[in-house]
């Protein structure tokens, strides 16, 4: 891990989020959250269900926008994405961030090697052949080299999540955001997926990416360098 004098992999401050639904009072989910994550650092965001963990991750990844009027910032490797045009946000997501979701979010119609190579289409740093070669290398490291032509429905939940971990590293991002990555898995399978996430993140980039893991598990948090708690216990 680098020193705090470096440009952080992630810097966020003054994040507020309120949901407003017709016929219901406003629901304040986040109030003034700030977070700094150094390059290569592993940070767990810990909290109970409903505490706003997934909402925070969506804001950090540019998948949602914070409430206006609070001077919110979300910087990815020094680039602020709050208020940026969607095309800029999409480019930052594609090139600078890898995502791992609890429900995998794989495209059912594509074989897994195409699923892993998919982020390269949004940020074409690789030719199609080079992208597929990297996808196969990632899947081989994930223990799935014999399943390249299979579609997600033909894989177990643990295998699908391994595919999702491989996909998150396709573009060698500086930041990986994982939202309850073991939430749909049994404990043994979940441990194997975590081992893969921590191991692969340092093997397929020149520099290991920062990792932010949203979880409600103290055991998962204990594997990270630092824990941030949100919500009320």
pLDDT the model gives residue 3? 45
Average pLDDT along the chain: 91
Answer whether residue 5 is part of any domain.
Answer: no
Answer whether residue 1 is part of any domain.
Answer: no
Q: Is 201 left (phi over 0), alpha (psi -120 to 50) or beta?
A: alpha
Query: What pTM does this model have?
Result: 0.92
Q: 3 vs 174, which has greater pLDDT? A: 174
CATH number of the domain bearing residue 42:
3.40.50.300
Answer whether residue 4 is part of any domain.
Answer: no
Q: 124 vs 139, which has greater pLDDT? A: 139
Strand order, beta sheet including 79-80:
27-37, 10-19, 73-76, 79-80
44 band by pLDDT with thresholds 50, 70 and 90: very high
Q: Is the pLDDT assigned to residue 233 strictly greater than 60?
A: no
How many structural domains is the chain composed of? 1
Answer whether residue 190 is part of any domain.
Answer: yes
Comparing CA positions, the residue from 124, 205, 122, 212 lying closest to residue 166 is 205
Answer whether residue 89 is part of any domain.
Answer: yes
Tokens of 78: 């020094």
**CB-count exposure of residue 142 (10 Å: 0-12, 13-18, 19+):** buried
What is the domain range of residue 148? Answer: 10-229
- Mean pLDDT, rounded, for 85-108: 92
Tokens of 3: 């020193």
Answer whether residue 73 is part of any domain.
Answer: yes
The neighbour count for residue 52, using CB atoms within 10 Å, is 22
Q: 78 vs 202, which has greater pLDDT? A: 78
Distance (Å, rounded) from C-alpha 214 to C-alpha 51? Answer: 11
124 band by pLDDT with thresholds 50, 70 and 90: confident
pLDDT the model gives residue 130? 92
Answer whether residue 3 is part of any domain.
Answer: no
Answer whether residue 130 is part of any domain.
Answer: yes
pLDDT the model gives residue 4? 46
The neighbour count for residue 192, using CB atoms within 10 Å, is 17
Q: Is 14 left (phi over 0), alpha (psi -120 to 50) or beta?
A: left
Tokens of 123: 């940020």
Pairing between β-strand 210-215 and β-strand 226-229 as defined by DSSP bridges: unpaired
Q: Is the pLDDT assigned to residue 113 strictly greater than 90?
A: yes
Q: Is the pLDDT assigned to residue 171 strictly greater than 50?
A: yes
- Our separate counts of H helices and E strands in the chain read 8, 9
Kindly report, residue by residue over 199-215, the tens digit of the pLDDT. Answer: 887 777 778 899 999 99
């Amino acid at each position: 891990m680098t020193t705090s004098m470096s440009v952080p992999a992630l810097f966020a401050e003054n994040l507020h989020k309120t949901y407003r639904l017709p016929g219901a009072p406003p629901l304040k989910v986040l109030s003034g959250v700030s977070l700094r994550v150094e390059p290569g650092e592993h940070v767990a965001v810990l909290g109970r269900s409903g505490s706003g963990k997934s909402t925070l991750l969506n804001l950090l990844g540019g998948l949602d926008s914070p409430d206006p009027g609070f001077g919110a910032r979300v910087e990815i490797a020094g680039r602020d994405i709050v208020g940026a045009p969607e095309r800029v946000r999409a480019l930052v997501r594609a090139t600078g961030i890898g995502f791992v979701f609890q429900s995998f979010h794989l495209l059912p119609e594509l074989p897994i090697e195409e699923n892993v190579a998919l982020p390269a289409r949004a940020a074409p740093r690789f030719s199609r052949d080079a992208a597929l070669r990297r996808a196969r290398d990632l899947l081989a490291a994930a223990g799935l080299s014999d399943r390249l032509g299979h579609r997600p429905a033909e894989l177990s939940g643990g295998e699908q999540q391994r595919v999702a971990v491989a996909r998150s590293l396709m573009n060698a991002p500086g930041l990986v955001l994982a939202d309850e990555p073991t939430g749909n898995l049994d404990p043994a399978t979940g441990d194997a997926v975590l081992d893969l996430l921590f191991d692969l993140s340092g093997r397929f980039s020149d520099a290991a990416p920062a990792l932010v893991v949203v979880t409600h598990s103290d055991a998962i948090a204990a594997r990270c360098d630092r824990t941030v708690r949100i919500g009320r216990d």
